[in-house]
Structure 1
Amino acid sequence: MAKLPAPLPYAAQRAIFERFREGEPEPVGELEHVNAYTLVVAVALSAQATDAGVNKATRTLFAVADTPEKMLELGLEGVTEHIKSIGLYRNKAKNVIALSRILVEEYNGQVPSSRAALQSLPGVGRKTANVVLQMWFGHPAQAVDTHIFRVGNRTRIAPGKDVDAVERAIEDNVPVEYQSHSHHWLILHGRYICVARKPKCGACPIADLCPYEEKTE
Structure 2
Amino acid sequence: MAAARDKESRGIAALEGAILTVLLVSLLSSAWVVGDLISRTISVHTALDRALYDHALKSLTISSSGQIAVNEGAIQSQMQHLLLDVSQDLISKLGEDFSEGKLRVEIGYAIAGIDADTGLLQSLDVRSAHNLPFGTLSPPPQVLTEHDLQREFERLSGPLGNAARYALPSAGFGQAGADQYLPFVVFVGLRIFVDMRGSFSGRIIQEIGAMDQPIIGEVKGVALRGEVAL
TM-score range for the pair, normalised by the shorter chain length:
under 0.3
Q: TM-score, normalised by structure 1?
A: 0.28
Higher helix share: 1
Q: TM-score, normalised by structure 2?
A: 0.27
Higher strand share: 2
